[in-house]
Structure 1
């Protein structure tokens, strides 16, 4: 989901921040095969003072056998996508600053109404205030077109729904010897354009405009050099802008909290990451609508099974904009397993299997299940050229007609040029 916002936090945030605190001398996890660098296959970039600039150009072609994500009798199409980007990275001994921007355009053979241009930019910075204190800022702004496969996508729209997403996250980590405290705050703003039906009538989407605010506090207590206990609390608020011309049938704004306990692990040099579990609660502002109280969980584990093979387990529960005036949001419980294998120094194979359960909050109570399988490969020809290919299958099963069921198969091949 391009525009999902989390209930239980950004996976791996605690790991990211604690790894950047110099006072805790922990072993860094080995890089995954796709991230492993070899001088003869890595781009040089262009030096600008203490920064390095990395332009890139990517072209890929894809066949989708259900381009409109229809429940039955889906039609296939070929899609060509051209993407240009640029990234800049600092080379400072202390602190860091990274930024990147991209723009892409796709072209379809038959369904030209699916042609869209997208673009965005993001900024990531780290400030090492002291040996024990660090701050991070991550901000992004994107102009996107909603994927037809998104569970909130307007199925009646003649063209993909356009929207803008602004996201900002600030985090501060303080080390007190065997105890570390991490606080973070996030804001996500979504702004949707109206869509148009095939007959030309307007499909209002203003009711989907929303603002999400979240704040959390995490405490890590070192139990042993490789195991830390974790306690995390979070509060968040999701509000909808609404449209006075088409008022909502009920107040869809919600407030939630989550409390979790878990562990951050560095077992030997092979298993790294964190696991956590607890309880979450969401309350709808309108008293006529039911809220939600249930389990909260998360996992982000990496296992270096062999020097050439890495497996990763990711799981969490998150809330996303509901896509309907009858619901205040959807709760997504998801898990996926990823594997990467370095067949050659410059050839990496990958696979992924994922599952998600989506449940509504509001005046409609229903659910859907999503399954995804993917296999792919990336071949680095030299410092500048990468060739990649992948195939994936996506299926959704729903309890009733509120969520549409469909199956989609895609095959993609492309080339990426990096400098």
Structure 2
């Protein structure tokens, strides 16, 4: 089936969803400053119900520490995990007990207008038997919003993170002696304005990736400089509210991916320019369901003539269903072009679908389950990876300062294609427990 036919069929499906929405008329962080301000969303509010993990719990949410016109939120998580395949290998798997310590401090404004959040966080990981896997990650950042008027707001933010690529990543070097560390620097600015039924939004963001070289088990060195890059994207979006419960949108994003190294230093010049164009609907079906579905076209053009351009059908969706006030079912999916870390392959098309269920057994007991699947289609190669994952989680909020969490996670990756093209295969099971302290 051609890309054009797929696009037309998907557009028709959006129209059906929109028609249905029109006929129906339509523990997350309490200091999250993302999204719209409350002053510019009269025709775009989707708040008839609140997802279980986003619901305020006044008796159990952190109270914060007053610091003038700001509130400070200190938080510490200490956890232990049993991992039966820490190196994500198909054979000769090695298990270990892993300890996690995650301190965090957020400082949030308490203003009538505008908002600002500054944060610092850490993630210290220690392995009982394999200390080569130990990591010390951290992040610093700030984001804010300026309410210019009742219908206009400006947003912006910046962050710096020292991160570690997990062994289960399809981009992780198979023969690395230790995990790959990298620095990620990000910044963004955005603006939103509402003209009654019409809402216009624009956003520019940039991200810089800087990878550290990694040693091999044979005392060699894996040069990771070829992965260093700067990715910038400019997005424009227009939403039109056909009713208080349904809005149609058009969104176009242009991106540029600039790599640090070009040929002949590396086998491929990975620089590219791309575009993603979506049409879709943002809707709320009474207090029963809400979501956003978008379909369209994606394309990535590569500077190197040796690399084939990639284009085709693009999509993203997230729909929340509320069968009861204490249960949230979330279905999400996407299809996008991602960069590959392979020396011979520049990109792959990532297909994802996830289903999660969150249930508030008691006001202070939250149960969650999720299952997901994915397929990565490597361009210019016979390689295709299939991933399945599933998880269970239970959280017991003892009081507003103490919480306990237990979880199980499973993931499996299979790869097919010519032997020279294939990636790593693995199966991982993790069981964890954690204690969270907050103020």
Normalised to the residue count of structure 1, the TM-score between the two structures is: 0.92
Could you tell me whether the CA contact under 8 Å between 1:252 and 1:327 is conserved in 2?
Answer: no
Structure 1 stretches (4+) deviating beyond 6 angstroms?
Answer: none
8 Å contact from structure 2 (residues 229, 258) kept in 1: yes
Shift of 1:325: 2.4
Asked if 1:321 corresponds to 2:339, the answer is yes
What is the rounded CA distance, in whole Å, between the counterparts of 1:223 and 1:339 in structure 2?
A: 30
1:403 aligns with 2:423: yes
Deviation at 1:32, TM superposition (A): 2.0
Closer/same/farther in 2, CA of residues 166 and 356 from structure 1, 3 Å limit = same
CA distance in 2, matches of 1:223, 1:255: 34
Deviations 1:346-402 (A, max 9, x none): 0000011111111223x5352211111011111000110010011011011111453
Shift of 1:343: 0.3
Kept in 2, the 8 Å contact 1:356–1:369? The answer is yes
Alignment pair present for 1:372 and 2:389: yes
Secondary structure of residue in 1 paired with 2:35: helix
1:382 maps to 2:399: yes
Map of 1:418 onto structure 2? 438
Structure-2 separation of matches of 1:142 and 1:26: 33
Corresponding residue of 2:361: 343
> What residue in structure 2 maps to residue 192 of structure 1?
211
**Partner Cα separation in structure 2 for residue 216 and residue 86 of structure 1:** 31
Whether 2:387 is the aligned partner of 1:356: answer no
Contact 2:44 2:245 in 1 (8 A): no
Note the 1:10-409 alignment, pairs <5 A.
Answer: 16-17=35-36, 21-24=40-43, 26-242=45-261, 247-361=265-379, 363-400=380-417, 401=419, 402-409=422-429
Q: 1:20 & 1:369 partners in 2: Cα distance?
A: 44
Give 5+ residue unaligned stretches, structure 2. 1-33
Long gaps (5+) in structure 1: 1-14
Q: Distance in 1 between matches of 2:182 and 2:87?
A: 18
Alpha-carbon distance, 1:18 to partner: 7.5
Q: What's the CA shift for 1:260?
A: 1.1
| Structure 2 CA distance for aligned equivalents of residues 101 and 320 of structure 1 | 29
| Rounded Cα–Cα distance in structure 2 between residues aligned with 1:107 and 1:267 | 47
Task: State the distance in 2 between where 1:344 and 1:35 align.
Answer: 15
Match of 1:34, SS?
Answer: helix
In the TM superposition, residue 312 of structure 1 has moved relative to its aligned partner by: 1.1
- Conserved 8 A contact 1:18-1:173: no
Report how far residue 199 of structure 1 moved.
2.0
1:85-134 C-alpha deviation (Å, 9 max, x unpaired): 11111111111111221112111111111011110022221111111111
1:25 Cα deviation from its structure 2 partner: 6.6
Deviations 1:327-348 (A, max 9, x none): 2233312121111000011000
Q: Are 2:262 and 2:269, in contact at CA under 8 Å, matched by a contact in 1?
A: no
Q: TM-score, normalised by structure 2?
A: 0.88
Q: CA deviation at 1:311?
A: 1.0
TM-superposed CA distance for 1:317, in Å, is 2.5
CA distance in 1, matches of 2:42, 2:270: 45
| C-alpha distance 117-29 of structure 1, shift in aligned 2 (>3 A) | farther
Q: Which shows bigger deviation, 346-355 or 281-290?
A: 281-290
SS in structure 1 of the partner of residue 431 of structure 2: strand
Compute the displacement of 1:29 (Å): 4.7
